[in-house]
Chains A and B, each alone.
Chain A
Amino acid sequence: MNHLPSNSAASTATDERDRFEAEYGALGWIKGPHALRADKTRQRQFWASAGAEGAAWLASRLREESHVDVLRAAAEMLAGLKGAAIAPIVAQLRADPTTEQAEALLTALSWIPAEPCSSGEELLAATLTPYLSHDDADLREAAISATAAVGGNQAVQLLRALQNSERNPELSALIAARIRSYEC
């Protein structure tokens, strides 16, 4: 009796994953039909309306990705989802991501402005903390920029805690610049 609805639901979920995969294949091209301006606009609109499910799929899909243009474009699409992308990004960042995946997710966060009085601020800050002191300088840099999604005093506190320990002069300068921008 329940088979029909259950199969139907499974089929819908598969259709959705197939659609996400097809749209994912359009990301990051500089030539061919997917590089055309109209198609880029369509891609942005698709992902911006993909909601939490689309964000979760995309953030997870990056685990298998290594192409720099695709990683960058996917980060841009996640950022276009704004607040809906934060929980899926946090979930992936806490699930032992690959280096490339983590950098792309942190980059996406850097483009999502902090929401005032967001309930997830504490979790987000706690998620960023290990990346801010990571051995990989690229991940530290991405995490410093990702504090933009935390914003305000909490972001300043996170960065102030790093000021004496960061040995890379470029990253020290980035920390100082970020603190100045959050304090303005």
Chain B
Amino acid sequence: MWLWRNARRARWEHDRDPENPEHVGEAAKDVSLRNERGELGLSVFRVETTAEAQRVAILYASTLLDRPGKLDYMMAPSQCFENLELVVSHRPVEGLYPYLSERHYEVMGLDESVSLALARELLASPERVVVRIRESELIAELRKLMVKEPLLHHFVGEAWRNLL
């Protein structure tokens, strides 16, 4: 099982060294809470397969981001969270597209040092997957998904709909 997280691809490339504090510090930016804004848990989406991860990405981009553009994401092996004994709690979010809401979890107990430890753990894992989906691919896949899921029409942003 993986935990899907919106991320900056450059922070997670496979040439990143878990022993390099600079690389770890950069990667930790993607697994840190917005403490100053009162965030208590890190949002992730639980997925079982790469196909599910891609579907989360398409839905994340088209329903949560205003404007079409590329999206980077990481599939983080759940084992990395278990190794640090982090609690990952199911937290459906009202208002999110149901497929996303059902898969929304929060990683609890993060602070600056734990985020760094988690980044190190993830960088050391050869099983992490980092993906970039380009805008053209997102739109093509969204077009197919909207045919299958009419409810999606109510969630997709206007700028995305204009491109379909």
Contacts and interface: CB of A to CB of B under 8 A. Distances in A.
B8 A30 contact: no
A36 B29 contact: no
Contact of B10 (A35, A73, A138): A138
Contacts of B43: 30-31
Given A35-B93, A37-B95, A107-B69, A30 B64 contact: yes
B8 A100 contact: yes
B8 A68 contact: yes
Interface of B: 6-10, 29-30, 32, 34, 36-37, 43, 60, 64-67, 69-70, 72, 91, 93, 95-96, 104, 134
**Is chain A's interface secondary structure helix, strand, loop, or mixed overall?**
helix
B133 to A, nearest CB: 12
23 contacts: A30-B43, A30-B64, A30-B93, A31-B91, A31-B104, A35-B95, A35-B96, A37-B95, A40-B66, A66-B29, A67-B32, A67-B34, A68-B7, A68-B72, A69-B6, A72-B65, A76-B66, A76-B67, A79-B67, A100-B8, A110-B69, A111-B69, A136-B10
B96 to A, nearest CB: 7
Interface string A86-100: 000000000000001
Nearest to B93: A31
A164 to B, nearest CB: 23
Contacts of B60: 30
Contacts of B32: 67
Interface residues of A, number: 26
A138 B9 contact: yes
A141 B6 CA distance: 19
A132 B138 CA distance: 24
**Listed residue (A40, A66, A79, A141) with the most chain B CB atoms within 10 angstroms of its CB:** A66
Interface in A30-85: 30-31, 35-37, 40, 44, 66-70, 72-73, 76, 79
Contacts of A170: 134
A104 to B, nearest CB: 11
A110 B30 CA distance: 24
